Amino acid sequence: MSRTDPHPAGVRRRVARAHLDRIEAVGPKVNATVTVLAERALAMAESADEAVAAGAAVGPFHGVPFTVKDSLDVAGVVTTRGSTLFEDHVANADATAVARLRAAGGIPLAKMNLPEFSYWTETDNPLVGRTRNPWNAGRTPGGSSGGESAAIAAGMSPLGLGSDVAISVRGPSRHGHRRAEGHPGPDTCHRTLARGAPPVLARGPHGPQRAGHRDRSRRPRRSRR
């Protein structure tokens, strides 16, 4: 990436500050955050500004804040997994997906809510409680990456790191949110959620399907001998 910075001085810190202000403003209504890394994020954003000013080589996500589903480790930060069993568990290393995004210059902003052990299609747990859909507090944001999807939809984060094994990203995208372009299949472990990208549907022979799901409703049965 070019070392020439087209943005004014301090812009990365201001971007981080703006998203932290948004978390503070709407966070209590949506209840999507588990841990906010305000001081750490601002310090990293300031260092990112200084690196650009010094002409250092930077990555493609240099200074971009991102949020992380609380099933994924961020070094030095509690990873609860939505369970009282892990409410004091401090990660000693970044998860691979987090490490890669940080290596590209990203700045962890907050850890986001999830159902206990990511094991449900709504986002609620004994530690943080229920996350609400920012468009309608009486509706669910889905799960298990519901904290991430709610944060993206509410403008609390420009980029979110979630996970999807069964329907944990695709489900929240169905509840009025948007996810990254592409269609994670059932073997996908980590995907980002991005604002403004359209949800992707596949179309089977009997109508629309969510991406990664096969239509088995009218599959001919094998005859038994």
Query: Domain-by-domain residue ranges, the chain?
Result: 11-210
Q: What is the pLDDT of residue 124?
A: 93
Peptide bond into 71 cis (omega under 30): no
Is pLDDT at 90 greater than 80 in this prediction? Answer: yes
Beta bridge partners of 52: none
User: Residue 186 has what pLDDT?
Assistant: 34
User: Alpha carbon of 118 to those of 77, 115, 212: distances in Å?
Assistant: 18, 5, 19
Catalytic residue among 71, 111, 118, 144: 144
111 flagged as catalytic: no
* pLDDT (0 to 100) of residue 140: 84
Q: How confident is the model at residue 89 (pLDDT cuts 50, 70, 90)?
A: very high
Asked if pLDDT for residue 9 goes beyond 90, the answer is no
- Output the pLDDT for position 199: 32
User: Can you give the pTM of this predicted structure?
Assistant: 0.74
Residue 74 pLDDT class (50, 70, 90 cuts): very high
Q: From the CA atom positions of the chain, what is the Rg in Å? A: 19
Query: Class of the 11-210 domain?
Result: alpha beta
**Active-site residue (options: 69, 118, 145, 157):** 69
168 is known as an active-site residue: yes
Write down the pLDDT at residue 197: 36
H-helix segments, the chain: 11-30, 38-53, 96-103, 146-153, 170-174
Residues belonging to the chain: 225
Per-residue confidence (pLDDT) for residue 40, from 0 to 100:
97
Catalytic residue among 71, 157, 168, 173: 168
- Mean pLDDT, residues 39-52: 97
Place of tokens 């299609």: 121
